[in-house]
Chain A
Amino acid sequence: MADTRKIVLEVLRYTPGQSTAPTLQQYPIEFTDDMSVLQGLQQVKDFVDGSLTFRWSCRMAICGSCGMMIDGAPKLACRAFLRDFLPGPLRVEPLEHFPIERDLVVDISDFVDKLGRITPWIEPREPRSLEQGEYLQTPAQLERFESFSHCINCMLCYAACPQYGLDSRFLGPAATALLHRYNSDSRDGAQAKRMELVNSEEGVWACTAVGYCSEVCPKAVDPANAVNQNKTASAVSWFARFLPGRG
Chain B
Amino acid sequence: MDGWWRRDPFFIRYMAREATAPFVAAYAIVLLVGIVSLARGADAYEEWLEALASTGWIVAHAILVAIFAYHTYTWFQIMPKTMPPVVVRGRRLAPEVITFAGIAAAVLASLALWILVAYGAP
Contact = CB atoms under 8 A, between A and B. Distances in A.
Which of A211, A215, A229 has the largest count of B CB atoms less than 10 A from its CB? Answer: A211
Secondary structure dominating the interface of A: helix
B81 A212 contact: no
Contacts, number: 54
Interface residues of B, number: 21
B83 A165 contact: no
Contacts of B5: 162
B81 A222 contact: yes
Contacts of B85: 143-144
A215 B1 contact: no
A166 B1 contact: yes
A73 B7 CA distance: 10
Contact of A162 (B4, B82, B84): B4
Contacts of B14: 210-212
B91 A229 contact: no
B82 A209 contact: yes
Interface of B: 1, 4-5, 7-8, 10-11, 14, 18, 78, 80-85, 87, 90-92, 95
B15 to A, nearest CB: 9
Contacts of A215: 10
Contacts of A209: 78, 81-82
Contact of B78 (A147, A211, A231, A232): A211
A229 B83 contact: yes
Nearest to B7: A72
A212 B82 contact: no
Given A140-B90, A143-B92, A162-B1, A214 B8 contact: no
Contacts of B82: 209, 225, 228-229, 231-232
B87 A143 contact: yes
Given A139-B90, A165-B1, A73 B80 contact: no
Contact of A225 (B4, B7, B11, B80): B80
A224 interface: yes
B87 to A, nearest CB: 6
